[in-house]
């Protein structure tokens, strides 16, 4: 993470912030703030949003209210926030889709860097590759070997086109020089059910609430996407260990952004409130329990992360020849 943060700081992204008069600085916030989430209530992104919203409400002295605007892999929510006034009262919890939608749908009416003001990174959400306990694959190299022997014979599930599970598996296929068949579902839950049943070969799943399936013997973990082995799965190798170095750079990041041209004073106030939330041991533990790791940053460092994110996922999408309809 230190390497990524240093690189992000060196790259930077010039945010078009403007100073506010002292009186205006003191006035913010004087009403509630909307934190928009592009996914349904109850999912991991929504839960993390509600954790930090509660903490930030206390720091800012005004309610931070989570508002779910679902649809089109968060495209609807992202477009909505891009059109709002840059006054700090409407912000977005950006995910991987922030960059991916712009790559897959270049005419989607927003630019992921130019149309938003970075506020700060929140967390990183690593993935774990799993297969059903009834499949013959005891390791990821065995699964890759099967894919090499039978092109398109190995299938992988995802929550939909362009999501983290889809792109991680596409990255594996590209790196291994194999062909695997993508089977998209309407959510991670249905995809995981098919993996457990053995009708889909495997999937990359967020490290969120999956331990119970492993403990019950329904799933077999194959590899984790973190740089080091996960303390929750100490016996599961990392992607680097089994021959795919750099896979850890493709972990999904969550962060706060607002519309373009937000005043610097407001951005600083929101970043301070976010950092205060992420520094609380209770918040760290709750996010860790959801399979994530806290990764607070400055607005400038998060801007660099977003720029890197756009380029790294563009490389994956182009190499795997993924389109909006895959």
Tally of CB atoms within 10 A around 50: 18
Question: Which tens digit of pLDDT belongs to each residue from 31-81?
Answer: 999 999 998 888 778 899 999 999 999 999 999 999 999 888 889 999 999
User: Has residue 291 got a pLDDT over 80?
Assistant: no
Q: What residues pair up with 67 in beta bridges, in sequence order?
A: 36
Residue 89 pLDDT class (50, 70, 90 cuts): very high
Q: What is the pLDDT of residue 160?
A: 80
User: Has residue 182 got a pLDDT over 80?
Assistant: yes
User: Has residue 20 got a pLDDT over 80?
Assistant: no
Per residue in 144-162, is it b (16+ CB within 10 Å) or e — as a string?
Answer: bebbeeeeeebbbbbbbbb
Q: What is the pLDDT of residue 163?
A: 85
Q: What is the pLDDT of residue 133?
A: 96
What DSSP letter does each residue of 84-150 carry, written as one string? S-SSSSEEEEE-THHHHHHHH-TTSS--TTTTEEEEEEEEEE-EEEEEETTSS-SSHHHHHHHHHHS
Residue 326 pLDDT class (50, 70, 90 cuts): low
User: Has residue 19 got a pLDDT over 60?
Assistant: no
Residue 221 pLDDT class (50, 70, 90 cuts): very high
Across all residues in the chain, what is the average pLDDT? 88
User: Has residue 6 got a pLDDT over 50?
Assistant: no
Q: What is the pLDDT of residue 136?
A: 96
Give 265 or 104, the one with higher predicted confidence: 265
User: Has residue 170 got a pLDDT over 90?
Assistant: yes
Closest CA to 129 of 23, 230, 239: 239
Q: How far apart are CA 258 and CA 306, in angstroms?
A: 13
Residue 277 near residue 56, CB atoms below 8 Å: yes
Closest CA to 8 of 276, 248, 299: 299
Torsion sign over Cα 80, 266, 303, 115: positive
Question: Which tens digit of pLDDT belongs to each residue from 128-168?
Answer: 999 999 999 999 999 999 999 999 899 999 888 888 899 99
Q: What residues pair up with 124 in beta bridges, in sequence order?
A: 253, 293
Q: What is the pLDDT of residue 18?
A: 41
User: Has residue 10 got a pLDDT over 60?
Assistant: no
Residue 215 near residue 232, CB atoms below 8 Å: no
What domains can you pick out in the chain, each with its CATH number?
A: 2-125+251-319 (3.40.190.150), 127-248 (3.40.190.10)
User: Has residue 102 got a pLDDT over 50?
Assistant: yes
Phi then psi for residue 115, to 5 deg, are -95, 10
Q: How far apart are CA 82 and CA 66, in angstroms?
A: 17
Q: Residue 55: which H helix or E strand, with range?
A: helix 44-60
């Amino acid at each position: 993470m230190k390497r990524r943060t240093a690189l992000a700081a060196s790259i930077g992204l010039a945010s078009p912030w403007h100073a506010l008069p002292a009186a205006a600085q003191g006035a913010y916030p004087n009403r509630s703030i909307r934190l928009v989430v592009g996914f349904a209530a109850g999912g991991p992104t929504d839960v993390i949003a509600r954790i930090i919203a509660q903490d930030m409400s206390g720091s800012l002295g005004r309610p931070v209210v989570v508002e779910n605007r679902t649809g089109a892999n968060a495209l609807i929510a992202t477009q909505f926030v891009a059109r709002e006034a840059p006054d700090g009262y409407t912000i977005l919890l950006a995910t991987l889709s922030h960059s991916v939608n712009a790559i897959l749908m270049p005419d989607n009416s927003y630019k992921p860097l130019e149309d938003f003001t970075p506020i700060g990174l929140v967390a990183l959400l690593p993935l774990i590759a799993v297969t059903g306990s009834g499949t013959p694959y005891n390791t990821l190299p065995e699964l890759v070997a099967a894919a090499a022997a039978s092109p398109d014979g190995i299938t992988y599930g995802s929550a939909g086109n362009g999501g983290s599970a889809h792109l991680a598996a596409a990255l594996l296929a590209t790196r291994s020089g194999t062909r695997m068949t993508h089977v998209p579902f309407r959510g991670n839950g249905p995809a995981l059910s098919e993996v457990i049943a053995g009708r889909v070969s495997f999937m990359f799943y967020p490290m969120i609430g999956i331990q119970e399936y492993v403990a019950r013997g329904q799933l077999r973990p194959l590899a984790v996407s973190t740089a080091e082995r996960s303390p929750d799965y100490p016996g599961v190798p990392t992607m680097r260990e089994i021959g795919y170095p750099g896979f850890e750079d493709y972990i999904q990041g969550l962060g706060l952004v607002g519309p373009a041209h937000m005043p610097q004073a407001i951005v600083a106030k929101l970043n301070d409130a976010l950092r205060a939330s992420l520094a609380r041991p209770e918040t760290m533990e709750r996010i860790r329990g959801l399979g994530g790791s806290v990764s607070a940053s400055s607005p400038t460092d998060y801007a660099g992360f977003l720029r890197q994110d756009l380029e790294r996922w563009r490389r994956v999408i182009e190499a795997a020849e993924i389109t909006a309809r895959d």
